[in-house]
Structure 1
Amino acid sequence: MSVLKGWKYVAFISAFVGSIGLATYPIIIYPMTHVEEYKKAQEINRSQLDQARVLPSSMNVWTDPFERKND
C-alpha cells in the first residue's frame, strides 16, 4: 500500500470532505433554509389528526414551536 503525497493527498481529503458535505446537505442545510415549506407540510399532515385523542391524558396537546409567545 502506497502513502498518498502531494496532489493525491489533497484530492483524497477534498473528496472525503466533499462527500460528507453532499451527504449532509439534504439532511441538515436544506430544511434549515426552507422552513416555510416544512411548516406547510406539517400543517397538511396534521390537519386530519385529533391530537387530544392520540395523546395520553397527562400530556398537553402539541403547539407550534415557531409561534412567538406574547408576554
Structure 2
Amino acid sequence: MIRPKRKFWSSNFLFIGIAGTVLVALIPIFIEPYLNSKKYNEIQKKTRANIIQEDVQPGNMRVWSDPFGRKKDDDE
C-alpha cells in the first residue's frame, strides 16, 4: 500500500501564509490611501503650502505642463 505524500500540504500552507502576510501588509500602503484620498490630499496641501514650484524645479527646467494640451498661439 502506497501512502499519499503530505509534504505538499505543509508547503501550500506556507506559501498561502506568506502571500497572505504580504497582502495584509500592502493594505495600509496602497488600498487605504486610495479609498481615503481626501485625508491624504489635506496632508499634502499642508506640507506643500510654502513651496514654490519654480524654485525647487531642478536644472532650470520649466514646471510640468500637459504635453498633449493645445499649444497657445503667439499671435493672440
TM bucket (normalised to shorter chain) is: 0.5 to 0.7
1:35 aligned residue: 37
| Structure 1 stretches of at least 4 aligned residues deviating more than 4 Å after TM superposition | none
Q: Are residues 1:5 and 2:8 paired?
A: yes
Q: Gaps spanning 5+ residues in structure 1: where?
A: 63-71
Question: Cα RMSD (Å) of the superposition?
Answer: 2.4
Higher relative contact order (CA 8 A, sep 6+): 1
Q: Gaps spanning 5+ residues in structure 2: where?
A: 1-5, 66-76
**Aligned residue-pair number:** 59
2:18 aligned residue: 16
Normalising to structure 1: TM-score of the pair? 0.61
1:58 aligned residue: 61
CA distance in 1, matches of 2:55, 2:16: 52
Identity %: 20
Normalising to structure 2: TM-score of the pair? 0.58
